[in-house]
């Protein structure tokens, strides 16, 4: 029996849902500047597969790494943690 490797998970906010069955998720990190010590916000965007077209802009979601589904999609939606208000 083969053992499957752990897959990366990210939590972020949906910034776009204009595509069919796809969403863009923005993950924001606070990183300390190496020289000046100030905390800087770094944003990373992921294109994720949303099979049911259920997400809206502003939703907080959990995404998981998966096989390549298109040129830019390497993540899929696991669950919606919080709906946008």
What pLDDT, in 10s, does the model give residues 27-83?
999 999 999 999 999 999 999 999 999 999 999 999 999 999 999 999 999 999 999
Rounded CA-CA distance 55/63 in Å is 12
State how far the alpha carbon of 57 is from the alpha carbons of 4, 62, 69, 70, 81, in Å.
33, 14, 22, 22, 13
Q: Which domains does the chain have, with CATH numbers?
A: 9-82 (2.40.50.140)
What is the model's pTM? Answer: 0.87
């Amino acid at each position: 029996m083969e053992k499957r490797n752990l897959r990366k998970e990210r939590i972020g906010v949906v910034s776009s849902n204009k595509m069919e069955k796809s969403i863009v998720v923005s993950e924001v990190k606070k990183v300390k500047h190496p020289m000046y010590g100030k905390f800087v916000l770094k944003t990373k965007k992921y294109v994720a597969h949303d099979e049911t077209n259920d997400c809206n802009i502003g939703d907080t979601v959990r995404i998981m790494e998966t096989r390549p589904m298109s040129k830019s999609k390497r993540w899929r939606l696991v669950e919606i943690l919080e709906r946008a208000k």
